[in-house]
Amino acid sequence: MLVLVVGDRMIGEATMQALREATYVVDWVTDGQTAIEAARAKAYDLALLGLGLSAAKGTEVLREFRKLNAQLPVIVVTTRDGVDDRIHALDLGAADCLVMPFDIRELLARMRAILRHKGNGNPLILTNGLISLNPATHEVVHNGARVYLTARESALLQALMLRPGAILSRTDLERHIYGWNERIASNAVEFLIHAIRRKLGTSSIRNVRGLGWMVDGI
């Protein structure tokens, strides 16, 4: 999961759309204080941080990100083309810097490179012995067949696969499939579980009446 911190609505909407089309699960926040609160509440895989935020300067947010999670890679996006600004961001701990305007394909390529480096080139595979999920590609191997999930289907299954044998409530799952301050549809969890079961079989996710859902442990 990524966090996008951009105050400009036009840039934010365009970047958000491109990231979702690339099947990333993204939280978009528009000010520094909300970004810090989001980083405290969730464990993100990568942050895209725009400098020049109004409520808290981008460099201050970068410092706070590093305090909260020193392993969180941060790509700084800036309209400032001065070398000193980019050097300052890198010295503060940014993993990379991009100057706007940029080609979204370059951003996605840099993100992939950073995430590969973060994982030492080895993708994280979640398995309970029956189902194997690659969260980075949303690919599932089940009964020898490869199936691809949508980003939200993958996020929901990932939440369950991280705790095989444990029951997760509706609220637990909603935290994984919805972005920060994003409106939650009333039947979203059931809809996604139904979609996953259609692809993987009805026994892939078990309903524990009155409590929630689970996948079997190893």
User: What's domain 2-118's architecture?
Assistant: 3-Layer(aba) Sandwich (3.40)
- Per-residue pLDDT for 123 more than 70? no
The torsion region of residue 186 among left (phi > 0), alpha (psi -120 to 50) and beta comes to alpha
Separation between Cα atoms, residue 84 and residue 101, nearest integer Å: 18
pLDDT tens digits for 3-52? 898 888 888 888 888 888 777 878 888 888 888 888 888 878 899 988 76
Domain boundaries, given as residue ranges, for the chain: 2-118, 126-214
pLDDT tens digits for 48-100? 988 765 445 778 888 888 888 878 888 988 876 667 777 888 888 888 888 87
Q: CA angle 154-213-208, nearest 5°?
A: 160
What is the CATH code of the structural domain delimited by 126-214? 1.10.10.10
Please give the pLDDT value at position 54. 47
Q: CA 184, 36, 119, 175: dihedral to nearest 10 degrees?
A: -20
Structure tokens belonging to residue 183: 């409106």
Please give the pLDDT value at position 80. 63
Please give the pLDDT value at position 174. 84
- Paired sense of beta strands 131-134 and 126-127, if any: antiparallel
